[in-house]
Amino acid sequence: MQDKAQFSYHRYVDPKGGTVDRRIFSDPDIYQRELEHIFARSWNFMCHESQIPEAGDYFTNYIGDEPVICVRDRDGSIHVMLNSCPHRGNTVCRAESGKARGFLCSYHGWAFGLDGSLKVVPGRKDLYNGEIDREKWGLLRAPHVATYSGFVFACMDEDAPPLEEFLGEVGKLSLNLIAARGDMVCIDGVQKNVLDCNWKLAVENLLDWYHADITHHSATMAGFIGKPPSHNWHRTMLGEYGHALSGPRMTEETWAAAERGETSKEVRFPEAWRNEERAREMLGPIGRDVKGHPNVFPNVWITASGRQICLRLPKGPEKTELWWFTFVDRGATPEYRAQVASHGTHSFGPAGLLEQDDGDNWIQGTKRTRGVLARKLPFNYQMNLGHGQPHAIDGRSVYIDDHTNEHAHLWLYRSWADWMDAESWADLKANATPVPTEAV
Ligand code: FES
Ligand SMILES: [Fe+2]
């Protein structure tokens, strides 16, 4: 790897000129560094607490492209362990989710407890002469596991800040957009599909409200979705460590405009908040108006409906797996639950109309980042460049109210470069780009 004094990943991102070097979307060395400097260092979304309510309940997920087991222990605590046997690397837990008393490796039979500790080694006395140190050979455990508003996160870096500090205002608001709806539970079955695109292109799309008019025009024509929201009322939020949010504002003003037929009525879901007071308290005055899409850095998308989360899991420089989690109120009727599940299934995921529209654009874009001619051309992120006026929220996050823009996209890549440059959490904290106070 290059000497840091001479090499900075900020060379790929030009926030003043509004461009990003397209090579970052397919370069194998960059991808490897992302796994190490972003995913292995960051807090990663694992599952919702409702997916593992009882002792022994587990859900398998990934940190970067490495499988992990997220499991509830008998004392109620949650552990996250690398899903790889320390003996010869075999995948210890093969199911996507379930209930277990422990985990037995199918190769030579080493057996692990719910906390990952090595309990049984076949032949320990006779073949290992009683000398193998079981204390040392358990599954690798994440040093940090924590929940916020019911969402479970894990971090493999010992030096990481606590989850709430990492999330900041934008990350917490993002998760509360779901949690504020009530006592939410995750519907069984996570929808998964793989696209031949770079994970960052899938992430930036959720911040992008420019494409809906064209990309999703057929969905509008078919009557599956309404007219895309007006570009006039847009709220962007930029948070520390790369968290960002972008999309329409949901205000009395936009509702009146919808009544006049100037924007889509879908900008506002009248049924959205069952408990208006609770929503106001959890989201605050700025968050209460949000109807856009947040991304909890690096790869957790919360949809505008507040009913789905999508993980953009990296599977290679040009491969991304999308995981869709759908949420519903615990007390919902079977009919309403089925309605929410059906809407989720038909919007996004492998059978989702919108994601079929989106996905091919990212695939084509990714392919065109490695041509000898194309790779010399940067991508353009100049929409509203220099005109976005940030308003402070807490010194660690800001919001910008303007028309549709690409401020959040650029913030994502500036933060990406911070993470890629940093050699440790201390380095990241000391040198990360502060949230802007001047026009961006
Ligand atoms: S690989 Fe797991 S017991 Fe040998
Ligand atoms: Fe889209």
What pLDDT, on a 0 to 100 scale, did the predictor assign at position 350?
A: 87
Ligand nearest to the CA of 228: 2
Cα 355 to averaged position of ligand 2 atoms, centre (Å): 6
What pLDDT, on a 0 to 100 scale, did the predictor assign at position 264?
A: 64
DSSP 160: P
Task: Check whether 410 has a pLDDT greater than 50.
Answer: yes
- Structure confidence by residue, pLDDT tens digits, 240-258: 999 999 998 877 777 677 6
- Average pLDDT in the chain: 93
Indicate if ligand 1 lies below 6 Å from the C-beta of 7: no
- What single letter denotes the amino acid at residue 364? Q
What pLDDT, on a 0 to 100 scale, did the predictor assign at position 260?
A: 80
What pLDDT, on a 0 to 100 scale, did the predictor assign at position 167?
A: 98
Task: Check whether 343 has a pLDDT greater than 70.
Answer: yes
Average pLDDT of the residues in 177-183: 90
Structure tokens at 64: 């970067």
- Structure confidence by residue, pLDDT tens digits, 111-165: 999 999 999 999 999 999 999 999 999 999 999 999 999 999 999 999 999 999 9
What pLDDT, on a 0 to 100 scale, did the predictor assign at position 390?
A: 98
Indicate if ligand 1 lies below 6 Å from the C-beta of 85: yes
Cα 156 to averaged position of ligand 1 atoms, centre (Å): 23
- The reply to whether domains 44-147 and 170-431 share a CATH topology is no
Domain residue extents for the chain: 44-147, 170-431
Indicate if ligand 1 lies below 6 Å from the C-beta of 99: no
Reported confidence tier of residue 300, pLDDT bands at 50, 70, 90: very high
What pLDDT, on a 0 to 100 scale, did the predictor assign at position 13?
A: 98
Ligand nearest to the CA of 209: 2
Ligand nearest to the CA of 362: 2
What pLDDT, on a 0 to 100 scale, did the predictor assign at position 281?
A: 83
- Structure confidence by residue, pLDDT tens digits, 266-278: 544 444 555 667 7
Task: Check whether 238 has a pLDDT greater than 90.
Answer: yes
Cα 46 to averaged position of ligand 1 atoms, centre (Å): 25
CB-based contacts of 143: which residues, under 8 Å, 6+ apart? Answer: 155, 156, 157, 158
Residue 274 is inside which H or E element, if any?
none
Alpha carbons 332 and 152: distance in angstroms, whole number = 23
Indicate if ligand 1 lies below 6 Å from the C-beta of 107: yes
Cα 208 to averaged position of ligand 2 atoms, centre (Å): 8
Which atom from ligand 1 is nearest to the alpha carbon of 92? 2
Task: Check whether 1 has a pLDDT greater than 50.
Answer: no
Indicate if ligand 1 lies below 6 Å from the C-beta of 110: yes
Alpha carbons 22 and 317: distance in angstroms, whole number = 12
350 in Cβ contact with 356 (< 8 Å): no
Cα 112 to averaged position of ligand 2 atoms, centre (Å): 43
- Structure confidence by residue, pLDDT tens digits, 41-53: 999 999 999 999 9
Tokens 């690409």 locate to: 406
Which atom from ligand 1 is nearest to the alpha carbon of 88? 1
- What single letter denotes the amino acid at residue 193? N
What pLDDT, on a 0 to 100 scale, did the predictor assign at position 263?
A: 65
Cα 24 to averaged position of ligand 1 atoms, centre (Å): 37
Chain centroid, CA 30 distance in Å:
19
Q: Which fold, 170-431?
A: Naphthalene 1,2-dioxygenase Alpha Subunit; Chain A, domain 1 (3.90.380)
Residue 212 is inside which H or E element, if any?
helix 212-215
Average pLDDT of the residues in 291-299: 95
Indicate if ligand 1 lies below 6 Å from the C-beta of 88: yes
Indicate if ligand 1 lies below 6 Å from the C-beta of 251: no
CB-based contacts of 362: which residues, under 8 Å, 6+ apart? Answer: 195, 197, 198, 201, 202, 205, 320
Cα 104 to averaged position of ligand 1 atoms, centre (Å): 9
What pLDDT, on a 0 to 100 scale, did the predictor assign at position 269?
A: 46
Task: Check whether 223 has a pLDDT greater than 50.
Answer: yes
CB-based contacts of 57: which residues, under 8 Å, 6+ apart? Answer: 51, 71, 72, 97, 98, 99
Cα 87 to averaged position of ligand 1 atoms, centre (Å): 5
Compute the residue count for the chain. 440
Query: Which of 87, 112, 128, 132 maximizes ligand 1 atoms within 8 Å of its Cβ, making it the mutation to test the pocket?
Result: 87
The architecture that CATH gives domain 44-147 is 3-layer Sandwich (2.102)
What pLDDT, on a 0 to 100 scale, did the predictor assign at position 284?
A: 85
pTM of this prediction? 0.95
